[in-house]
């Protein structure tokens, strides 16, 4: 599949010039069947980025979507309700069944619903419906997640892990194509989100839209330079296309030299003086998975050093935790905390990644 040609075709069919970087970020997450973080350097881009993500999801992938805004006082019940949409808003959705049927189906785990009890109730339970006529959309975009309480973050982590939500209204299951995207300011991402939650996001995508139109006007303060269409459920990039890319990714060849290069990057990150944590086993698994997802995008069936570098930045940049002066090993040998503070303050996750990628020898 020639992805660049496909994107040109999609833009012509969709009728608007959607952002290619955001599209590829969403597509990589869908191919890997994982969730993603989108960050912006400037807060004035947040509204435009949110609308662009929702448009790509609905007008290109044909996804149902919802946008959630968190606040410090948001309760878990409020957060759960805001993630759900009414079944009436989904074209061709099933009508709710009587509650007794769902109570019977809910006696069994979501992945083991007894179809012999009631096949229709089991089918609806697996699709995410319950007796209240609500369900999960395909894409949930979350604003200000870094401002939410630890209880809300723990609830989101549980949804990502178990693919289900239990509330006072009943049991809700996530649909087969399900994507959660926190939209965050890059500077605040690590301040208030706990590492266990960050580790469950496949990639982080830093988005910087072209903010100047032909007249030189910055759209962050005025209207966007491109005309954005209304949101419609229009599936131009089908599940079959996504499955094809996933199948190609599974057969990507990763040579011994490339595997050693990947291993060296992970070891250098773990041993880096400025890193306290974040290079987890899950991150290592996602590192290889992203490499397999990116190869079909470039039209190749084997991993290359340049793709490894891209995957390392996307996989680790949101996970890395910078150490504090007190954690530095040299403190045991008499180093001064004040001097270490001046040393540590220059390190950021991106700077650490640059340092490691410049240090690790690239296979020829």
- What whole-number distance in Å separates Cα of residue 142 and Cα of residue 50? 9
Which pLDDT does position 168 carry in this prediction? 82
For range 20-48, the mean pLDDT? 90
User: Could you tell me which residue, 108 or 327, shows the higher pLDDT?
Assistant: 327
Which tokens sit at 261?
């290069």
Instruction: Look over the chain and give the mean of its residue pLDDT values, rounded to a whole number.
Output: 81
pLDDT band at 18 (very low <50, low <70, confident <90, very high): confident
Which pLDDT does position 341 carry in this prediction? 77
For range 47-71, the mean pLDDT? 93
Contacts of 128 (CB under 8 A, 6+ apart): 135, 136, 172, 173, 174, 175
3-state DSSP call for residue 144?
Answer: coil
pLDDT band at 359 (very low <50, low <70, confident <90, very high): very high
Q: What angle do CA 47, 51, 55 make, to 5 degrees?
A: 170
- What whole-number distance in Å separates Cα of residue 153 and Cα of residue 196? 10
* Eight-state DSSP code of residue 179: E
Helix (H) or strand (E) holding 244: helix 239-250
3-84+136-236 has CATH 3.40.50.970 classification: no
Which tokens sit at 145?
């997640």
Tens of pLDDT along 122-131?
444 444 445 4
Measured between alpha carbons, how far is residue 157 from residues 26, 153, 217, 235, 364 in Å? 20, 6, 40, 29, 41
CATH class of 251-359: mainly alpha
Spans of all domains in the chain: 3-84+136-236, 251-359
CA torsion 160-165-171-177 (nearest 10°) is: -40
**pTM, two decimal places:** 0.81
Which tokens sit at 306?
């340049």
pLDDT band at 104 (very low <50, low <70, confident <90, very high): very low
Which tokens sit at 207?
């988005």
Question: CA 132: distance to chain centroid?
Answer: 28
Do the Cβ atoms of 25 and 313 come closer than 8 Å? no
């Amino acid at each position: 599949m020639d992805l660049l040609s496909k994107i040109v075709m999609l833009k012509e069919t969709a009728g608007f010039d959607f952002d290619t970087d955001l599209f590829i970020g969403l597509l990589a997450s869908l191919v890997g069947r994982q969730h993603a973080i989108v960050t912006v350097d400037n807060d004035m881009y947040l509204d435009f980025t949110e609308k662009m993500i929702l448009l790509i999801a609905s007008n290109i992938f044909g996804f149902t979507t919802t946008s959630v805004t968190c606040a410090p006082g948001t309760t878990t019940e409020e957060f759960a309700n805001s993630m759900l949409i009414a079944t009436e808003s989904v074209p061709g959705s099933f009508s709710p069944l009587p509650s007794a049927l769902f109570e019977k189906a809910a006696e069994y785990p979501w992945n083991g619903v007894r179809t012999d009890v009631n096949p229709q109730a089991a089918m609806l339970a697996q699709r995410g419906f319950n007796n209240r006529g609500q369900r999960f959309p395909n894409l949930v975009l979350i604003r200000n997640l870094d401002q939410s309480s630890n209880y809300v973050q723990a609830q989101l982590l549980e949804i990502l892990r178990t693919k289900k939500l239990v509330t006072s209204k009943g049991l809700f299951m996530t649909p087969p194509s399900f994507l959660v995207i926190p939209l965050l300011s890059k500077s605040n991402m690590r301040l208030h989100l706990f590492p266990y939650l960050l580790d469950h996001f496949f990639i982080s995508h830093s988005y910087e839209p072209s903010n100047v139109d032909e007249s030189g006007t910055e759209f962050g303060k005025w209207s966007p330079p491109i005309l954005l269409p209304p949101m419609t459920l229009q599936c131009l990039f089908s599940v079959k296309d996504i499955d094809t890319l996933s199948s190609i990714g599974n057969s990507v060849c990763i040579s011994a030299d490339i595997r050693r290069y990947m291993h060296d990057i992970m070891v250098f990150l773990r041993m880096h003086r400025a890193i306290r944590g974040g290079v987890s086993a899950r991150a290592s698994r996602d590192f290889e998975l992203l490499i397999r997802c990116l190869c079909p995008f470039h039209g190749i069936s084997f991993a290359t050093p340049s793709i490894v570098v891209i995957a390392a930045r996307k996989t680790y940049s949101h996970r890395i935790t910078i150490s504090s002066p007190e954690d530095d090993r040299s403190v045991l040998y008499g180093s001064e905390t004040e001097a270490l503070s001046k040393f540590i303050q220059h390190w950021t996750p991106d700077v650490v990644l640059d340092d490691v990628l410049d240090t690790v020898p690239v296979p020829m």
